[in-house]
Amino acid sequence: MQRTIRTRGESVVQGKFLEELSVGQTAELVRVVGEADIEAFAEVTGDNNPVHLDADYAAKTAFGERIAHGMLSAGYISAVLGTTLPGPGAIYLSQALRFKRPVKIGDSVTARATVTEIDAAKARVTLATVCLVNGKPVVDGEAVVMVPRKAA
């Protein structure tokens, strides 16, 4: 039994209870990073590093062009956890991240989460997390979330 939640935009999001999860379950989403995404992220966070926003500056860096904020890519992991696996009601407890490669404007990012451990006593779930561009990891890590139980 999944929980159905309506979001602000009235889309329906399905969530899973702790008892519905199993090791190996995987979910993912795909997003193309646009210039507007990078600018909006900078506006919201205040991270105005010119490597993200200034093409002339970025051209002189090791990247040779503007790149997305690492946490923008990591945010796609949060979207997977909050909307799909486990979904609404899951509460982030921790997230370890390793930034492997830059993400550029126009890159298609696949964010994936896979259940690796379930601690039923504490209602905690550990997930391997990764963001991929062209099949190569750009961000990887591990998340721990608290997941709602079914009502008795």
Question: CA-to-CA distance for 103 and 108, rounded, in angstroms?
Answer: 9
What is the pTM assigned to this prediction? 0.88
According to the model, what pLDDT value does residue 13 have? 64
Assigned domain for 74 exists: yes
Assigned domain for 139 exists: yes
Domain count of the chain? Answer: 1
Assigned domain for 151 exists: no
Assigned domain for 135 exists: yes
Question: CA-to-CA distance for 38 and 105, rounded, in angstroms?
Answer: 8
What digits encode the pLDDT tens for the residues 25-76?
999 999 999 999 999 999 999 999 999 999 999 999 999 999 999 999 999 9
- Find the CATH number of the domain harbouring 95: 3.10.129.10
What digits encode the pLDDT tens for the residues 68-124?
999 999 999 999 999 999 999 899 999 999 999 999 999 999 999 999 999 999 999
Q: Which domain holds residue 97?
A: 3-146
Assigned domain for 152 exists: no
**Backbone dihedral region for residue 66 (phi beyond 0: left; psi -120 to 50: alpha; all else: beta):** beta
Decide if 62 contacts 99 (C-beta within 8 A). no
